[in-house]
Amino acid sequence: MGMTLTEKILAGRSNQKSVKAGDLIFVKPDLMMATDISSPLTIKVFKEMGAERISDPSKVALVHDHLIPAKDIKSADLSKTMRLFAREQGIKHYFEVGRSGIAHVLLQEEGLTLPGDVIIGADSHSCTYGAMGCFATGVGGTDLAAAWALGEIWLRIPESIKIVYKGKLSEWVVAKDLILLFIRDIGVDGAVYKALEFGGETVENLSMQSRFTLTNMAIEAGAKNGVIKADDTTVEYLKGRTERTDFILYEPDSNAEYIRTFEYEVSDLEPQVAIPFLPSNVFPLSEVEKVKVDQVYIGSCTNGRIEDFRLAAKVMKGKKIHDELRMIIAPGSDNVFQQLLVEGLALQFKEAGAVIGSTTCGACYGGHMGVMGENEVGVFTTNRNFVGRTGHPTARIYLTNPAVAAATAVMGRLADPREVV
């Protein structure tokens, strides 16, 4: 029996001819990431186990993204802990406030996530990097600390689920809608410890930025990782981003074994909406009540890339935000923020009445800079809408793509982009 894409990558990185689901392997990660809120625990465990030096500092990335700028003394101390550790250990890939971004946007921009690699991160959305044709997964602080000290980690080979999308997407329908469609069908726990392998002509025609959105939400189905076969689009994206030439473009075998296969014809797909309180409570936009909205938030590691803001700006061109609504724009990295300035999109959003925040995960997980109040309704381009996820337990969050979010900002209620453009 042949191997899936995930099995191919893990076999290659564990120096084995073949592996199968259920096998236990040891691998040396190519990149090990932590953030301002996950690194302090990792550092604590690292020192408690008696480790003094990271096995290979060049393979570690430390990113300020969850609580920046620091909102209080506790969050300032979290950042300080990571900052001092980075200096102590000589971490090359340390990203300071103002020269950083959300890890799952930033690291690809910096050319640190390459095809064929194994990447672990102390954040559940580390699965995002799998869009590059690598194995990427989130781990706990203890596992990461051990990997820092030993330079390796053990993994169990996951079973694979194949998801195939066919057809050409209509205007205002994007990768966010593709992944919401799948999560609707499999549920938030339907893919626990499974590898999601995305493919088909629709995926092949997606940009790299759109592919990141697809794999980003693999964890919302409970998956161990999400992965897309690296191709010419991947290689083109890497030009000018990395000096490494040793990356490998793996392909799944034609006779690979998958425990389930999902196939979608998406030519007639309309924008999808996840209504409160699960990312799997998904319905076509036309079937969802046009609720009055208090806050629109465009950003996060799911939809905080430049093409997301271009799409939103296209919808909002020449228009103002509704008087009874507030809108937050949160670029996914400082590179994205600079591009907003260069392209004039920042000015457009400001003139429309939006606030442009820092490159933070803050509002997405209810940390700061966009937290929701009691009984408020939000339309977010983020990845989760659990009870209390973004603030008060009574706040209701609807997950949409950036075009729908932008139309909502103009109309003051959940809206279809075609109502605005």
CATH classification of 272-420 is 3.40.50.720, yes or no?
no
The predicted-structure confidence for 84-135, as pLDDT tens digits, reads as follows: 999 999 999 999 999 999 999 999 999 999 999 999 999 999 999 999 999 9
225, 130 in Cβ contact below 8 A?
A: yes
Query: What confidence score (pLDDT) does residue 243 get?
Result: 86
Rounded Cα distance, 313 and 205, in Å? 22
Neighbouring residues of 233: CB distance < 8 A, sequence distance ≥ 6: 204, 206, 207, 208, 211
Measured CA to CA, the distance from residue 167 to residue 309 in angstroms comes to 24
Contact (CB, 8 A) for 31 and 135:
no
Question: DSSP string of 340-388?
Answer: HHHTTHHHHHHHHT-EE--S-STTTTTSSSS-B-TT-EEEESSS---TT
At residue 413, does pLDDT exceed 90?
A: yes
- pLDDT at 365 > cutoff 90: no
Measure the CA–CA gap between 404 and 211, rounded to whole angstroms. 19
For residues 365-379, give the mean pLDDT: 92
Same fold, 5-264 and 272-420: yes
Predicted local distance difference test score (pLDDT) of residue 349: 97
| Residue 1 scores a pLDDT above 90 | no
Is it the case that residue 251 has pLDDT exceeding 90? Answer: yes
Q: 97 with 83: CB under 8 angstroms?
A: no
Residue spans of the domains in the chain: they are: 5-264, 272-420
What kind and span of H or E run contains 75?
helix 73-89
Q: Judge whether residue 367 has pLDDT over 90.
A: no
- Write down the pTM of the prediction: 0.94
Q: What is the DSSP string of 270-315?
A: --EEEPTT-TT-EEEGGGS---B-SEEEEEHHHH-SHHHHHHHHHH
CA angle 84, 102, 365 (to 5 degrees): 100
6 burial via Cβ count (<10 Å: 0-12, 13-18, 19+): buried
Mean pLDDT of the chain: 96
pLDDT value, residue 369:
87
Asked if pLDDT for residue 53 goes beyond 90, the answer is: yes
Give the residue-averaged pLDDT of 282-299.
Answer: 97
Q: At residue 364, does pLDDT exceed 90?
A: no
Compute, in degrees rounded to 10, the torsion defined by CA atoms 306, 303, 252, 157. Answer: 130
pLDDT at 211 over 90: yes
Q: How far apart are CA 414 and CA 34, in angstroms?
A: 36
**Span 387-411, average pLDDT:** 96
User: 366 pLDDT exceeds 90?
Assistant: no
For the segment 380-401, the average pLDDT, to the nearest whole number, is: 95
Give yes or no for residue 261 having a pLDDT over 90: yes
Strand partners, 185: none
Asked if residues 116 and 12 have their Cβ atoms less than 8 Å apart, the reply is: yes
Residue 21: both structure tokens together: 């689901």
Would you say residue 147 has pLDDT above 90? yes
CA 64/CA 121 separation, integer angstroms: 13
pLDDT tens per residue across span 308-342: 999 999 999 999 999 999 999 999 999 999 999 99
Superfamily designation of domain 5-264: Aconitase, domain 3 (3.30.499.10)
